[in-house]
Amino acid sequence: MLTRRGAVTGTAAVAGIAAVDVGGFLYTGGWLTPSALTPSRFADRFEQVYGRHDGFRRNHAKGLSATGTFASNGAGVAVSKASVFTTGTVPVIGRFSLSGGLPDQVDKPDTVRGLALEFLLPNGEQWRTAMVNIPVFPDSTPEGFYERLLASKALPDSGRPDPQKMAAFLSRHPETVNAIKIIKQYPPSPGFDDSTFYGLNAFPVHQQRRNDRSRALDRGP
């Protein structure tokens, strides 16, 4: 039998659950933490720096896609259980790109190049990887990357970043200074076909007591 006390208790419980749901939604959307770096704020920073270009990615906007076949010799099974490394061939979709949010930018040798691959494995499984042609990433945190984007925004008159803003950023981020020193030790090759691409993440491998980072090496035509 429903009593007045029971009805009030039930209503309070429902209201409490609703408040938790709303609170979670507001927190996730950044309403309760206006200074927090959210995925949407991070993505919006690219538009703030490069402008809006409908129909293009916000980063690595300029690129070309290709299709082909990945032929595995089976050697990878010595260090990984991933099915992509078993002997055989699988269809692959790739995209070659230039970093930045300008789809019509001029191809320059020092612009970071990207290589994204999607392996279409049996039974509907997909294996994806994204690589760039620099050995280390300039930033160690998303916040550092977010801040560097604004500091590197090109000035209208010179087409280059404001030197004072960039200097101020580097003074706060010595890890980026060290990363740039490493990157400069690996001058870029003339084009995509002879570039070495590096994965940004490390993966544990079995049968060895170390972590490996993936690399894609040019092996010639």
Rg (CA), the chain: 24
Token output for 21: 């749901």
β-sheet with 113-120: strand ranges across: 62-72, 88-98, 113-120, 126-132, 197-204, 211-216
Amino acid code (one letter) for 23: G
At 116, is the secondary structure helix, strand, or coil? strand
CA distance 74 to 125: 18
Per annotation, catalytic residue among 53, 60, 173, 206: 60
Q: 60 catalytic, yes or no? A: yes
The tens-digit pLDDT sequence of the chain (221 residues) is 556 555 545 555 545 555 445 545 555 555 556 679 999 999 999 999 999 999 999 999 999 999 999 999 999 888 888 888 889 999 999 999 999 999 999 999 999 999 999 999 988 899 999 999 999 999 999 999 999 999 999 999 998 999 999 999 999 999 999 999 999 999 999 999 999 999 877 777 765 555 455 555 544 44
CA distance 51 to 220: 38
Identify the pLDDT of residue 221. Answer: 43
CA distance 193 to 178: 28
116 CB-side CA count, 13 A: 12
Domain boundaries defined on the chain: 12-52, 56-216
CA distance 144 to 167: 14
Identify the pLDDT of residue 111. Answer: 95
Asked if 206 contacts 81 with a C-beta cutoff of 8 angstroms, the reply is yes
At 147, is the secondary structure helix, strand, or coil? helix
User: Distance of alpha carbon 57 from its chain centroid, rounded?
Assistant: 12
Token output for 217: 């090496």
41 Cβ contact partners less than 8 Å away, ≥ 6 residues apart: 30, 146
CA distance 115 to 66: 11
Q: What is the CATH number of domain 56-216?
A: 2.40.180.10
Helices and strands (DSSP H and E) totals, the chain: 5, 6
CA distance 98 to 114: 6
Identify the pLDDT of residue 220. Answer: 46
Asked if 109 contacts 188 with a C-beta cutoff of 8 angstroms, the reply is yes
